Chains A and B, each alone.
Chain A
Amino acid sequence: MTLKTLTRAGLAALAGAAAAALLAEPTLAQTAPAAAAAPDIAVNKGDNAWMMTATVLVLLMTIPGLALFYAGLVRPKNALSVLTHVFYTVCIVTVIWVIYGYSLAFTGGSAFIGGFDKLFLKGVTAESKAATFSVGVNITEYVYICFQMTFAAITPALIVGAFAERMKFSAVAIFIPLWVTLIYFPIAHMVWYWAGPDAIDAAAKAVAAAGDDAAKKAAQTKLDEVLADAGQVFLWGAIDFAGGTVVHINSGIAGLVGALVVGKRTGYGKDLMPPHSLVMTMIGASLLWVGWFGFNAGSNLEAVGGAPLAMINSFVATAAAALSWMFAEWITKGKPSLLGALSGCVAGLVAVTPASGFAGPMGALVLGLIAGAVCLFFVSTIKNMFGYDDALDVFGIHCIGGIVGAILTGVLVAPALGGTGIMDYTTGKIADYDFVTQVWAQIKAVVMTLLWSGIGSFIIYKVVDYTVGLRPAIDQEREGLDLTDHGERAYNM
């Protein structure tokens, strides 16, 4: 295999040019020469403006949305530590992303991970463009980089809830960069990386335009290369609009593994550990809901098409799930709780995440009703049955909600159920829907995520444990991580 250097002329050229061909060895990429130049696609200002807004909304989800949601659920002596874990995560992932994260996730390499073509954002300029899901529609690549960066940041931030109140900051500080590099970037690549609609459309048109048999064969080979330039899960045909697998199942299972490896909080089951401020949690959950419109609707990468659909789905599924949890709790436990409503709301958002641009609104409604009840079952009955201390229910809400959403996305995308169907860019038409094929692809995506993240996270936790150690000393844990890790109090009253 020889490595050829290819001068990147920006993503507009990339959209028309062939990306690196996929080969068996993940570390070597043979780059193909640029195909016939594609027309220079202008960036739509409306789409760009929406995506910049969506990006900022997703940042809002994490800080302060998730930060406050989590902080309110822990005891006062640990509230600041949770805020710090989340804030630190945003900062460290931002830096890593622009250095090598974006390159590993969203350039060609193998089916499992990208390459270093855009290390330090090499070749990316203010004029560079990124493809969307529509042929001939581009956004500015910097905006795409930032948008994806916020996803890379919130995913590990979600995990910290599972081991809250008993993991040292030094352990978190090392865990996050390792995890995002070895787990998030590969899964993001596997699920979301593809050559883009412009490249596929151009290659397909070249096949149609080819004159003689030899030309047609060459053009077809080219098209096959372009189609094969994608992540493994994408190649399986699994669909995940905004990150049910990449973000939620991924962080959820990593959280469960972390909670098990680090062990229960000292005094769990005996000491009183109720949420110290459900007011704060409600503020956080509300900011999450508002910000999630950037997460889901922004994942369409343009302001039309799937974006308005994702918007309405993010209202409907969320409300349905909040009510479903609330009423299920009312019936089974005797009182409807605010925490239940907020948890149901988040569960609904999680479940609709992979489906948001694919399901119809009524499908989203049903999805929400199911997700609320199923997640309640997991955070109460299942958690108590097995006795694990997933402090802030990262597994019960994000992993389980993500699994429900990911699999039902395969059902609800069906046009017969009001779904959008899946676009085939080689023909420019919606592909035929097959229930078994699609749901099977979704299941494979779920299992791949669970295995890669579950096993990989376990290894990373163990490595961190053997180096700096995960848990604080018991008396430090009792005193509170705010003081012992950070020398601060959340409250000085």
Chain B
Amino acid sequence: MKIVMAIIKPFKLDEVRDALTAAGVHGMTVTEVKGYGRQKGHTEIYRGTEYAVNFLPKIKIEVAVPSEQADKVVEAITAAAKTGQIGDGKIFVFDIDHAVRIRTGETDAAAL
């Protein structure tokens, strides 16, 4: 089992969600985050004071999938989230040791 964690541009969320549904993933966790990589921030000016804002808003999506589906899911996210501009984001894949569905107590593959 793998967690696929993707950091994407916020406006791409709906497209990525649709792509994941098409890829057979029916659950996800979404967080609003801030961050930067190579994309530079911007400057905000309030009265006389300038603020260099380096942290940009992003969306983090986490999905838990069976290991054999991980590559397909990564491809689906990449295709949906890509704009070609700096700041498109990154995807990381983690191992899951154990998974449980709380309502029924099912574990591992049955819990995903």
Binding site for B on A (CB under 8 A): 272-275, 333, 335, 337, 339-340, 343, 379-381, 383-384, 393
CB proximity of B32 to chain A, nearest CB, Å: 13
- With beta carbons under 8 angstroms apart, the residue of A273, A335, A383 that contacts B45 is A335
A395 to chain B minimum Cβ distance, whole angstroms, is 12
Instruction: Report the separation of the CA atoms of residues A343 and B48 in the bound assembly, to the nearest whole angstrom.
Output: 11
- Interface presence of B44 (CB below 8 A): yes
B47 near A340 with CB under 8 A, answer: yes
| Chain A residues within 8 Å of B11, by CB | none
**Residues of the A chain whose Cβ atoms lie less than 8 Å from the Cβ of B47:** 339-340, 343, 379-380, 393
11 more CB-based (< 8 A) A-B contacts, given A380-B47, A384-B49, A393-B47: A272-B51, A274-B51, A335-B45, A337-B46, A339-B47, A340-B47, A343-B47, A379-B47, A379-B48, A381-B48, A383-B48
Mark interface residues in B40-61 (1 if CB within 8 Å of A CB, else 0): 0000111111010100000000
Which A residues lie within 8 Å of B51 (CB)? 272-274
Min C-beta distance of B52 to chain A, whole Å? 8
> Which 5 A-B pairs give the minimum distances between C-beta atoms?
A380-B48, A379-B47, A379-B48, A383-B48, A384-B48
A333 to B48, CA, bound (A): 10
Contact in complex: A333, B46 (CB < 8 Å): no
Instruction: A380 to B53: give the CA distance in the assembly, Å.
Output: 19
B48: chain A residues at CB < 8 Å are: 379-381, 383-384
* B53→A333 contact, CB < 8 A: no
Name the CB-closest residue of B to A397. Answer: B47
Which chain B residues lie closer than 8 Å to A274 at the CB level?
Answer: 44, 46, 51
User: In the complex the two chains form, what is the Cα distance from A335 to B42 in whole Å?
Assistant: 13
For window 47-79 of B, CB contacts with A under 8 Å fall at 47-49, 51, 53
Residue of B nearest to A272 (CB): B51
| Alpha-carbon gap, A8 to B45, bound state (A) | 58
| Cα–Cα, bound, A379→B48 (Å) | 6
Residues of B within 8 A of A273 (CB): 49, 51
Give B47's nearest chain A residue, CB to CB.
A379
Which of A274, A333, A343, A393 is most buried by chain B, counting CB atoms within 10 A of its CB? A274
Total count of chain B residues near the partner, CB < 8 A:
8
**18 residue pairs A–B, Cβ–Cβ below 8 Å:** A272-B51, A272-B53, A273-B51, A274-B44, A274-B46, A274-B51, A333-B45, A335-B45, A337-B45, A337-B46, A339-B46, A339-B47, A340-B47, A379-B47, A380-B47, A381-B48, A383-B48, A384-B48
- A422–B97 alpha-carbon span in the complex (Å): 87
CA distance A343 to B47 in the complex (A): 8
Distance from B36 Cβ to chain A, minimum over Cβ atoms (Å): 14
Chain B positions within 8 Å of A335 at CB level? 45
Distance to closest chain A CB from B44 (angstroms): 6
Chain B residues with CB under 8 Å of A393's CB are: 47
- Docked complex Cα distance between A273 and B47 (Å): 12
Closest B-chain residue to A329, C-beta based? B45
Chain A residues with CB under 8 A of B49: 273, 384
Q: Residues of A contacting B44 with CB < 8 Å?
A: 274
Chain B residues within an 8 Å CB radius of A337? 45-46
Task: Identify the closest chain B residue to A343 (Cβ).
Answer: B47
Q: State the CA gap A107–B28 with chains docked (Å).
A: 73
Cβ-closest chain A residue relative to B54? A272
Alpha-carbon separation in the docked complex, A339 to B44 (Å): 12
Chain A residues whose C-beta falls within 8 Å of the C-beta of B46 in the assembled complex: 274-275, 337, 339
Q: Give chain B residues whose Cβ lies under 8 Å from the Cβ of A379.
A: 47-48
Distance in angstroms between the alpha carbons of A239 and B45 in the assembled complex: 37
- Using Cβ atoms and an 8 Å threshold, which residues of chain B touch A343? 47
> Which A residue sits closest to B53, measured CB to CB?
A272
Across the interface, which residues of B come within 8 angstroms of A333, CB to CB? 45
CA distance A446 to B65 in the complex (A): 73
Q: Give A337's nearest chain B residue, CB to CB.
A: B45
Closest residue of chain A to B45, judged by CB? A333
Question: How many Å lie between the Cα of A393 and that of B47 in the bound state?
Answer: 9
User: What is the bound-complex CA distance between A274 and B48, given in angstroms?
Assistant: 11
> Chain A residues with Cβ under 8 A from B53's Cβ?
272
CA distance A380 to B46 in the complex (A): 9
Closest A residue, CB atoms, query B52? A272
The distance in angstroms between the C-alpha atoms of A272 and B44, with both chains bound, is: 10
Please measure, in the bound complex, the distance between the C-alpha atom of A381 and the C-alpha atom of B45, giving whole angstroms: 13
Q: How far is the CB of B45 from chain A (nearest CB, A)?
A: 6
Q: Bound complex: CA of A447 vs CA of B26, how far in Å? A: 73
* Complex-state Cα separation, A343 to B45, whole angstroms: 14
Which of B49, B51, B53 has the largest count of A CB atoms less than 10 A from its CB?
Answer: B49
A264 to chain B, nearest CB (A): 12
Provide the bound-state CA to CA distance between A339 and B49, in Å: 12
Shortest Cβ distance from residue A278 to the other chain B in the assembled complex, whole angstroms: 9
Enumerate chain A residues within 8 angstroms of B45, measured Cβ to Cβ. Answer: 333, 335, 337
B55 to chain A, nearest CB (A): 9
A326 to chain B, nearest CB (A): 12
A124 to chain B, nearest CB (A): 44
CB distance from B31 to the nearest CB of A (A): 15
Output the least CB separation between A339 and chain B (Å). Answer: 6
Tell me the bound Cα distance from A165 to B44 in angstroms: 21
Per the bound structure, the CA–CA distance linking A272 and B42 in Å amounts to 13
Tell me the complex Cα distance, A272–B51, Å.
6
A420–B49 Cα gap in the complex (Å)? 40
| Chain B residue, CB-CB nearest to A278 | B46
A407-B60 Cα distance, complex, nearest whole Å: 58
Bound-state Cα–Cα, A393 to B53, Å = 22
What's the Cα separation between A275 and B47 when bound, in Å?
Answer: 10
